[in-house]
Chain A
Amino acid sequence: DIQMTQSPSSLSASVGDRVTITCQANQDITNYLNWYQQKPGQAPKFLIYAASNLETGVPSRFSGSGSGAHFTLTISSLQPEDIGTYYCQQYDNLPYTFGQGTKLELK
């Protein structure tokens, strides 16, 4: 299985901050990488596909980048509604695997 490692595991930031979450695969996955946001008690919400393509309706303050084995999710200006846990997911090989999550909290 492809292992996905996110860092940091948790992050505290203030409204307006620029936030960056990284996701590292243990092998080259080209750009076969998606990002999800999960709020407490809710199902995950799909944000970004193929490393850098924003899903329709997702605010433009979210962006993704990377290729190969190293990827980042950036929130350019943190808003209170962005609080939650973020997961990366690879779809290069079966089984699809997720990172362990990054919990984003307000400072």
Chain B
Amino acid sequence: QVQLQQWGAGLLKPSEPLSLTCAVYNGSFNNYYWSWIRQPPGKGLEWIGEINHRGSPNYNPSFKSRVTLLVDTSKKQVSLKLRFVTAADTAVYYCAKGGAHDPFEVWGQGTVVTVSS
């Protein structure tokens, strides 16, 4: 069973970059898309973007100017970088196996990111 382990800085100041990494264990990395999804406190889920093992990303236009997704196939890792964060970016960020019309069938444990001065 695929497992996802994610990590990254949890406390940021406004305008700093957000950087999170997600590692894939116990399963195939290639032939799938990997997505990032976030959930502000007490709110619903918002899809940020997806990337495959070839490094081909698709982004939510709401984030497109600030977000970059990267992949390291040798380490079976995907990473999320979000520039110029504000308090509105405070959320739990999840990586998930899925995208490209596949369901988000496996999720990481989530990383709480707080943006505060």
**B44→A43 contact, CB < 8 A:** no
Asked if A100 CB lies within 8 Å of chain B CBs, one says yes
Contact partner of A94 (CB less than 8 A), chosen from B45, B58, B94, B102, is: B58
Q: Of the candidates B45, B62, B94, B105, which one forms a contact with A87 in the assembled complex, judged by CB atoms under 8 Å apart?
A: B45
Chain A interface: which of B8-16, B19-27, B72-80, B107-115? B107-115
The reply to whether B101 and A43 form a contact with Cβ atoms under 8 Å apart is: no
Q: A96-B47, A97-B47 are in contact. Are A55 and B105 (CB under 8 A)?
A: yes
In the complex, how many residues of chain B place their beta carbon closer than 8 angstroms to a beta carbon of chain A? 22
Partner of A43 from the list B61, B98, B108 (CB cut-off 8 Å) is: B108
A36: chain B residues within 8 A (beta carbon): 45, 104
Residue numbers of A with Cβ under 8 A of B are: 32, 34, 36, 43-46, 49, 55, 87, 89, 91, 94-101
Interface residues of chain B, those whose CB is within 8 Å of chain A, are 35, 44-47, 58, 60-62, 94, 98-99, 101-110
Known: A43-B108, A91-B101, A97-B47. 16 other contacts (CB 8 A): A34-B104, A44-B94, A44-B107, A45-B107, A46-B103, A55-B103, A87-B44, A89-B45, A91-B103, A94-B60, A95-B60, A98-B47, A99-B44, A100-B44, A101-B44, A101-B45
